[in-house]
Amino acid sequence: MITLKRAILSDWPEIAKIEKSSNSNTYSARVLEKEIKDYIKKDFVFLIKNKTVTAGLASFKLLKKKTAHCNGLVIYPKFRRKGFGVKAMSLLLKRMNKYPRVELVVHPHNTSAISLYFSLGFIIEGWRDNYFGDGEPRLMMIKKK
Ligand SMILES: CC(C)(COP(=O)(O)OP(=O)(O)OC[C@H]1O[C@@H](n2cnc3c(N)ncnc32)[C@H](O)[C@@H]1OP(=O)(O)O)[C@@H](O)C(=O)NCCC(=O)NCCS
């Protein structure tokens, strides 16, 4: 059974481990201790639990109180393709759905994440050049209400 557990500051090494396991050219991981601690303090960060085992993380932040922006969904490589990602994202959506706009950005080559988001009712809103300032584009996706 998959559940979401709100991360606390002392979870930062686990968050760092999850992020590190997924760094790639389509996902830029958070690496610095300060960056991760600020992330836990400011955003809604959850550990994805399969019973007692941590399978990954999911997170969102609020933008101007009206927009929930999903800024994290990572499953440890060894736990992928078991349905954990889609289950965790649907649990996160329950927490985000009360906001008028639910959005996220994803690298256009990240086909696994894009098909997961399509399966949950997200649509592509548009293309954003150099979204994180690293020269790489992102697709803005929004949840169809
Ligand atoms: C994207 C990610 C979270 C998916 O997690 P997951 O637990 O493997 O996904 P699920 O098993 O729940 O798969 C759900 C659906 O997503 C799609 N999907 C997932 N992995 C896929 C892959 N490698 N190739 C194609 N489709 C894939 C499929 O539609 C799948 O449904 P199916 O298994 O019935 O075909 C995971 O691959 C990951 O952590 N990637 C690195 C971090 C990242 O890029 N996160 C997204 C940032 S925007």
pLDDT in tens, 2-57: 999 999 999 999 999 999 999 888 887 898 999 999 999 999 999 999 999 999 99
The reported pLDDT for the residue numbered 25 is 80
Closest C-alpha among 137, 111, 131, 57 to residue 89 = 57
Ligand 1 pocket list (CB less than 6 A): 22, 26-27, 73-75, 80-86, 106, 110-113, 115-116, 119
Q: Which domain holds residue 132?
A: 2-143
The reported pLDDT for the residue numbered 41 is 98
Split into its structural domains, the chain has a count of: 1
Secondary structure of 57-121 in the HEC alphabet? Answer: EEEEEEECCCEEEEEEEEECHHHCCCCHHHHHHHHHHHHHCCCCEEEEEECCCCHHHHHHHHHCC
How far apart CA 130 and CA 17 sit, in angstroms, is 26
**What is the distance in A from the centroid of ligand 1 to the CA of 86?**
7
- The residue to mutate among 81, 114, 128, 141, having the most atoms of ligand 1 within 8 angstroms of its beta carbon, is 81
Say which CATH number the domain at 46 has: 3.40.630.30
**Least-confidence region, from 20-24, 53-57, 97-101, 127-131:** 20-24
Within 13 A of 50's CA, how many CA atoms are on the CB side?
14
Phi and psi, residue 58, nearest 5°: -145, 145
Within 13 A of 92's CA, how many CA atoms are on the CB side?
33
How far apart CA 55 and CA 45 sit, in angstroms, is 14
The reported pLDDT for the residue numbered 27 is 84
**What is the distance in A from the centroid of ligand 1 to the CA of 18?**
15
